Amino acid sequence: MWQRIVKWSALLFFGLVFWLGTQTAVSASPLAADTTRVYGADRIETAIRISQAGWQSASTVLLARADDFPDSLVSVPLSKRLDAPILLTYPGQLDTTVLQEIKRLGANHVIVLGGEGVMGSSITVPLDQAGLQWERIGGQDRYDTAVKVAERLGGNGQVILANGDNFPDALAIGPYAGLTSTPILLTQATELPQTTRDELTKFAAAKTYVIGGEGAVSSEIVQGLSGLQRISGKDRYETAAQVYWFSKESLSNTPVNGISKAYLVTGEDFPDALVAGALAEKQNTTLFMAAKNDLPGATYSALLDSSVDGKLWVVLIGGTGVLSSQVQEMVEGTALPSSLLAGMTIVIDPGHGGPDTGAIGASGTYEKNNTLPVGLYLADLLRASGANVILTRDNDTSPAGSNYTELSDLQARVQIANQNKADLFVSIHNDSFSNPDAGGTTTYYSSDSVVADKSLALGADVQREVEKQLGLLDRGTKSANFYVVKNTTMPAILVELGFISNPTEEKLLSSADFQKKAAEGIYQGILTYKGY
């Protein structure tokens, strides 16, 4: 791997300095969004305000309980299908302000979410008295209700499965589900209800997205489902952020006047996320979650990524009793969240890719296939700590695209880091040597870098922590004029995790457990470098 990197260094250094000087730099800075709030005196009024913000008129509205979530969890895709806002009421009495909003919208059709025991005659009789047509979508329980909503939507080749005992995961995926007309089915954590199982069989979807970690949906109950893909984080906030990374291409969030838009809701209660999810999907934008008094690192990082040239408009749903002034200040950039790496931009460079396989192992494995998973795992860890992460590649491609050459590939990686004014650059590789007994982990920096001392310090911290995780021979931190660490303008390192030419290490390098440990080691090294 490294021989090719070295040979271009002297040839290209002066040319690249000139070339980079002619490029327009993209500013990378901590989150500094414009903000507004949408809220009412209570959750019912907040839902009405959201309806007013998104709908001048509607022929249909969805009506859900304001004090419990089970029967409304899966309603956001139905809202998109019918272009219907979601309004809330308490089950004991239909709120008169809700009737006023239905009248303002000009709606003549109301879908009541939940069975008789959930939304009974105290709700439906006033609808009759108001001359409104209504229908009920409700089953024997939340799982049956989800099935009935799914049948109303129909199949599209994929299905979403989320925990029905809690609200965050199902509501986080709601905008994507609505945009793609994907039904959401519900399950218990350790048991798949028979009604859900039967519907999954009926849909026979080619792709099944499981939302949430093992504590939300265990692996045992989803074994055998087609095209299984889990989208999860360590908590509701990370899971919501992972939903953003998963769905960002689908939710194109077209900027208005050069500014992209996002909605921020509390992750501590369901009503705002439910009704704002309907508005977010209508506007093809993204829903993020925060705690009352803090902006979790994963949310902070995702919001940073969603901005366009640093411009972002965040609509906070709820008053300061729901999302505090402190959270608003964090969104506006006048205060930093408590997450460890908030405000940092870190470029992760999984080596090789596309036509460049990198080194080839004794049994034929490719270096490029080992470096990418490490980079993706590392990106998740860094984002969870608030960092703005830029990957030079997130699939089997070269950052140089269709114009690939060894030269353009290296230029592109350096350009990404320098133009984005990254704070750190980490390149991930596998080593190779003619002697198959050679092995161990090495971290390189360039003594010719403009920030050589800082790169050495970063390299030493990362090498130490990676060694703790991997336990291979410690080959130390060394200087080498590798192109990507010599020509980047920020502290930069290149980590050789092990020797792919060593049969024993080749097997390790391609294993998911080893890759995750490698990512954890690099992450801990970065934290150590930052003083944590």
Q: Are 287 and 275 in contact (CB under 8 A)?
A: no
What is the spatial order of strands in the sheet that 228-231 belongs to? 184-187, 158-163, 207-211, 228-231
Six-digit token string for 211: 């939302």
Q: How far apart are CA 4 and CA 339, in angstroms?
A: 38
Residue 123 dihedral angles phi and psi, to the nearest 5°? -100, -45
Find, among 77, 74, 4, 113, the residue nearest to 352 by Cα: 4
Longest Cα pair distance anywhere in the chain, in angstroms? 86
> What would the DSSP string read from start to end of 149-216?
HHHHH---SEEEEEESSSSHHHHHSHHHHHHHT--EEEE-SS---HHHHHHHHHH--SEEEEES-TTT
- Residues recognised as catalytic: 496
What CA–CA distances, in Å, run from 235 to 126, 168, 231, 291, 297? Answer: 41, 10, 12, 12, 12
**How many angstroms separate the CA atoms of 415 and 409, rounded?**
10
Partnered with residue 262 across adjacent β-strands are 286, 314
Sign of CA dihedral 26, 27, 31, 33: negative
Could you give the C-alpha distances from 293 to 79, 266, 485, in angstroms and in order? 30, 10, 39
Cβ-contact 304, 422 below 8 angstroms: no
Q: What is the C-alpha separation between 89 and 43, in angstroms, rounded?
A: 9
C-alpha to C-alpha distances, 490 to 346, 441, 450, 459, nearest whole angstrom? 10, 23, 8, 13
Helices 43-54 and 271-282 cross at an angle (nearest 10°) of 0
Does residue 38 come out as left (phi exceeding 0), alpha (psi in the -120 to 50 range) or beta?
A: beta
